[in-house]
Chain A
Amino acid sequence: MLFGRQGNDDLVVRGARVIDPAEGVDAVLDVRVDGGAIAQLGTNLETNAHRVVDGEGLVLTPAFVDPHVHLRTPGREDEETIATGTAAAAAGGYCAILAMPNTEPVVDSAAVLGSLAETAQAEAEVPVGFLAAITRNQDGAELTEMAELADAGAAGFTDDGRPVVAPGLMRRALQYSAVTGRRLALHCEEPTLSKSGQMHEGAVSAELGFAGYPSVAESLMVERDLALAAYERQPVHLMHLSARESVEALSRAQVAGMAATGEVTPHHLCLTDEAVRSLDSNVKMNPPLRAEGDRQALVAGLRDGTIAAVATDHAPHARHEKEVPFEAAPFGVTGLETAFSALYTHLVEPGLLKLETLLERMSAGPARAYGLDPPRIAVGAPANLVLLDLQASRRVSESDFRSRSANSWLLGETVKGQVRLTIAAGRVAFEG
């Protein structure tokens, strides 16, 4: 399901604090990688003439998995390509990303998927999985040939960017997805409630005059999709949750035994609708930034595991399309290169989230949600590692981005926690 280059690098990372929450590891160790796989953990390891990376004072942990990236290819290569998007991912500490199918053309046929897979095999800095559309051209009318798409390597199915509006069609998609062995990933939005909405509906939208996109537009669709999935006994993954009521609905479904997972973005975890007072188009996204109560519910959901995954929803946009009044700007912000430092700075440093929890939700959590092998630090496992400097801080600046776009909500902000080294599928993909 992942397409990219396999590495066979040899390397020793010496003296880093090795943390793998899933393996129960948290100790200062040396890690030796032979031929792209983890060969030995211990102290004072033989280097076998390998390159030695000094990890002293740094954290070595399973590299991150981003379940929600827009690579804009095919169609908008001016905004991102597979090469630049995966370079950005590597710089952000990711060893695997999942790309969304809302491209031009939409990834709704094995032919389009096949050509993307081929490009990724050749150009990707980190392996990429491609989600295919649920409906043809994401029109919400006819199902795609899901079985063939799954055979061609689709990592899952989504109409991301849009909901599947008709309940009858959603039900058919759930039923049919059973034969694919892949799950549906759902963008939950009731369009008659969100129509023309520019930001969260609340005191800030009332004051600024923006048309509101109420939280119930999301949570109502979350409730509907969970009800249909429960009825069909199918697993679902809920994308970029933003509202407290959505987290509560997901939690109830999980308690009832459903195989439902959820993801949340760094911006929804760090910001609220108050940020929109700046009228900066880099805080315009769908779903919108919500109220403080929603943000707290998202943090709590991530902490207690109701929300299994952090997803960047990395959405590159051309500069001229964002340099317009807020209402004219497209939805979406970039995130691959800032996700860890944003969350480390905003949640871990102030004590709102344990470092181990954040690392798990950025790596094993998202991998499991899509049935991928979680990156882990264990002898024999492929080397998917990230080396983090938690003390280093930097001012986020446009010139540092490897992404082809710079529509980041963090521009100008100083964040702590830097990626020093990313090893993806046994290959050094980034050094900084």
Chain B
Amino acid sequence: MAEIHVMREDLLPPKEPPRRHLISIGDLERADVERLLGTARSFERSLERELKKLPTLRGKTVVNVFYESSTRTSSSFELAAKRLSADTMSIKSTGSSVDKGESLKDTALTLGAYDPDVIVIRHPQIGAPQLVARYTGAHIVNAGDGKHQHPTQALLDLYTISEELGRIDGLHVAIVGDVLHSRVARSNIQALALMGARVTLVGPPPLIPRGIEAMGCEVSYEIDAIKAADVVYVLRMQRERMAEGANYVPSLREYTARWGVTPERLRPGQKVMHPGPMNRGVEIDPVVADAADALIERQVRSGLVVRMAVLYDLLTHGPVGVQAAALHEIGAA
């Protein structure tokens, strides 16, 4: 009979791991991303089966709170939770107590009273997910906060690139367009740099934020710079964020003429990505959007399995010792 060795630590009650969130790509390490992409891959295989639903998160509650309009992100989170058998609830700001002037803190306290396991939040203001994390006991997933972060978009983009090109490390990605107003760009710059890709930002000078090179990317104002890239990532010209008279560009017409991604500006074999929704004929030529090298629909499909992986990872605590996504406590409570 084998002897039983009791270690001192085994006699102590297990330590509660810090509550984990996905708020910013900046909180992740390379190993976290690799684990998430690996989980997404196994979920993708499981979806090929006839019965698409997995029992993994049965009994868990996922609340989606969207303070901004969204089609693909909200539907993808909802479906991801359902595929994992979690109960879901979706709240939109219109028609809710938010309309009546309720503060984000009070909404968070109210939702927190139901003890949800995960709150997925999209909000027009930077830092809203951190604030909700402070006032609830749920794991928080940032589905977009102002111009700050959209981490699941960056993860699904990494997943798409790695599935289609077989690697991320060493690739060159050009991100084209309105970087200033883009949370997708910020999350992707961090994510791509973390995974060893080279990133070049291309766009009109007023739409490239001053000092962004410090994030580990290069900047070019010339559209020709996209030719050197393996992947051309086209950003939406965020018309809804273009305050009247801001004069970031003289006109959309001039923007398209100078920085639109057209077939002539690409070389064969370059992959094209776009987070959607597209403005066809503005930042992206329709021929490019529909070409075989466009991965845009693939991105949407990746979104589902990557969000399943994120929910699974947060709720199963992930491998022991990984705490990278733990919230950096903000301020002094």
Interface residues of A (CB under 8 A from B): 196, 201-210, 212, 214, 278-282, 320, 323-328, 411-413
Complex contact B130–A279 (CB within 8 A): yes
Complex contact A325–B330 (CB within 8 A): no
Complex contact A328–B125 (CB within 8 A): yes
Q: Find chain B residues with CB under 8 A from A206 CB.
A: 209-212, 214-215
Q: How far is the CB of A388 from chain B (nearest CB, A)?
A: 25
Q: Find chain A residues with CB under 8 A from B330 CB.
A: 278-280
Measured CA separation A280–B131 after assembly (Å): 9
Q: How far is the CB of B312 from chain A (nearest CB, A)?
A: 27
Q: How far is the CB of B302 from chain A (nearest CB, A)?
A: 24
Of all chain B residues, the one with the shortest Cβ separation from A395 is B332
Of all chain B residues, the one with the shortest Cβ separation from A214 is B210
Q: Find chain B residues with CB under 8 A from A323 CB.
A: 103, 105, 131
Complex contact B183–A209 (CB within 8 A): yes
Q: Find chain B residues with CB under 8 A from A210 CB.
A: 126, 147-148
Size category of the binding interface on chain B: 20 to 34
Of all chain B residues, the one with the shortest Cβ separation from A211 is B147
Measured CA separation A206–B183 after assembly (Å): 11
Q: How far is the CB of A81 from chain B (nearest CB, A)?
A: 25
Of all chain A residues, the one with the shortest Cβ separation from B182 is A209
Complex contact B212–A203 (CB within 8 A): yes
Of all chain A residues, the one with the shortest Cβ separation from B187 is A209
Complex contact A278–B331 (CB within 8 A): yes
Measured CA separation A279–B128 after assembly (Å): 9
Looking at the complex, which one of B104, B128, B186, B210 makes contact with A202 (CB distance below 8 Å)?
Answer: B210
Measured CA separation A214–B209 after assembly (Å): 12
Measured CA separation A327–B145 after assembly (Å): 11
- B127 interface residue (CB < 8 Å to A): yes
Question: Given A207-B215, A279-B330, A282-B331, are A327 and B126 neighbors across the interface (CB < 8 Å)?
Answer: yes
Measured CA separation A322–B186 after assembly (Å): 26
Complex contact B210–A209 (CB within 8 A): no
Looking at the complex, which one of A208, A212, A412 makes contact with B332 (CB distance below 8 Å)?
Answer: A412
- B205 interface residue (CB < 8 Å to A): no
Complex contact A279–B126 (CB within 8 A): yes
Q: How far is the CB of A204 from chain B (nearest CB, A)?
A: 8
Q: How far is the CB of B129 from chain A (nearest CB, A)?
A: 9
Complex contact A201–B211 (CB within 8 A): yes
Complex contact A280–B331 (CB within 8 A): yes
Measured CA separation A320–B158 after assembly (Å): 39
Of all chain B residues, the one with the shortest Cβ separation from A410 is B332
10 contacts between A and B (CB under 8 A): A196-B243, A205-B209, A205-B211, A209-B148, A210-B126, A279-B331, A280-B331, A320-B105, A326-B127, A327-B146
Complex contact A325–B209 (CB within 8 A): no
Complex contact B125–A325 (CB within 8 A): yes
Interface residues of B (CB under 8 A from A): 103-105, 123, 125-128, 130-131, 145-149, 183, 186, 209-215, 243, 328, 330-332
Ranked nearest first, the 9 interchain pairs of A and B with the lowest CB-CB distance are A209-B147, A412-B332, A280-B331, A325-B125, A279-B127, A203-B214, A203-B211, A206-B209, A206-B212
Complex contact A207–B125 (CB within 8 A): no
Q: Find chain B residues with CB under 8 A from A196 CB.
A: 243
Q: Find chain B residues with CB under 8 A from A412 CB.
A: 332
Measured CA separation A301–B295 after assembly (Å): 55
Looking at the complex, which one of B123, B186, B212, B243 makes contact with A325 (CB distance below 8 Å)?
Answer: B123
Q: How far is the CB of A284 from chain B (nearest CB, A)?
A: 11
Measured CA separation A281–B145 after assembly (Å): 16
Q: How far is the CB of A264 from chain B (nearest CB, A)?
A: 24
Of all chain B residues, the one with the shortest Cβ separation from A326 is B127
Measured CA separation A209–B212 after assembly (Å): 10
Q: Find chain A residues with CB under 8 A from B215 CB.
A: 203, 206-207
Complex contact A201–B127 (CB within 8 A): no
Q: How far is the CB of B125 from chain A (nearest CB, A)?
A: 4
Q: Find chain A residues with CB under 8 A from B105 CB.
A: 320, 323-324
Q: Find chain A residues with CB under 8 A from B214 CB.
A: 203, 206-207
List 16 extra interface pairs beyond A205-B211, A212-B210, A325-B123, CB under 8 A.
A196-B243, A202-B211, A204-B211, A206-B209, A206-B210, A278-B328, A281-B331, A320-B105, A323-B103, A324-B104, A324-B125, A325-B128, A325-B146, A326-B125, A326-B127, A328-B125
Measured CA separation A24–B243 after assembly (Å): 58
Complex contact B332–A209 (CB within 8 A): no
Q: Find chain B residues with CB under 8 A from A413 CB.
A: 332
Complex contact A325–B104 (CB within 8 A): yes
Measured CA separation A281–B104 after assembly (Å): 14
Complex contact B126–A320 (CB within 8 A): no
Q: Find the residue from A201, A281, A327, A411 having the highest chain B CB count within 10 A.
A: A327
Complex contact B126–A209 (CB within 8 A): yes
Q: How far is the CB of A408 from chain B (nearest CB, A)?
A: 9
Complex contact B209–A212 (CB within 8 A): yes
Of all chain B residues, the one with the shortest Cβ separation from A323 is B105
Q: How far is the CB of B242 from chain A (nearest CB, A)?
A: 13
Looking at the complex, which one of B103, B186, B328 makes contact with A320 (CB distance below 8 Å)?
Answer: B103
Measured CA separation A57–B330 after assembly (Å): 38
Of all chain A residues, the one with the shortest Cβ separation from B328 is A278
Q: Find chain B residues with CB under 8 A from A282 CB.
A: 331
Looking at the complex, which one of B123, B126, B243, B328 makes contact with A208 (CB distance below 8 Å)?
Answer: B126
Measured CA separation A112–B284 after assembly (Å): 60
Q: How far is the CB of B124 from chain A (nearest CB, A)?
A: 8
Q: Find the residue from A201, A279, A282, A327 having the highest chain B CB count within 10 A.
A: A279
Q: Find chain A residues with CB under 8 A from B212 CB.
A: 203, 206-207
Complex contact B126–A325 (CB within 8 A): yes
Q: Find the residue from B128, B149, B213, B243 having the highest chain A CB count within 10 A.
A: B128
Measured CA separation A227–B21 after assembly (Å): 52
Q: Find chain B residues with CB under 8 A from A325 CB.
A: 104, 123, 125-128, 131, 145-146
Q: Find chain A residues with CB under 8 A from B130 CB.
A: 279
Q: Find chain B residues with CB under 8 A from A201 CB.
A: 210-211
Q: Find chain A residues with CB under 8 A from B210 CB.
A: 201-202, 206, 212, 214
Q: How far is the CB of B59 from chain A (nearest CB, A)?
A: 32
Q: Find chain B residues with CB under 8 A from A214 CB.
A: 210
Measured CA separation A280–B126 after assembly (Å): 11
Complex contact A207–B186 (CB within 8 A): yes
Q: Find the residue from A207, A212, A325, A411 having the highest chain B CB count within 10 A.
A: A325
Measured CA separation A328–B215 after assembly (Å): 26
Q: How far is the CB of A291 from chain B (nearest CB, A)?
A: 9
Complex contact B331–A209 (CB within 8 A): no
Q: Find chain B residues with CB under 8 A from A203 CB.
A: 211-215
Q: Find the residue from B125, B149, B212, B214 having the highest chain A CB count within 10 A.
A: B125
Q: Find chain A residues with CB under 8 A from B328 CB.
A: 278
Q: Find chain B residues with CB under 8 A from A278 CB.
A: 328, 330-331
Q: How far is the CB of B75 from chain A (nearest CB, A)?
A: 25
Q: How far is the CB of A218 from chain B (nearest CB, A)?
A: 16
Q: Find chain B residues with CB under 8 A from A280 CB.
A: 330-332
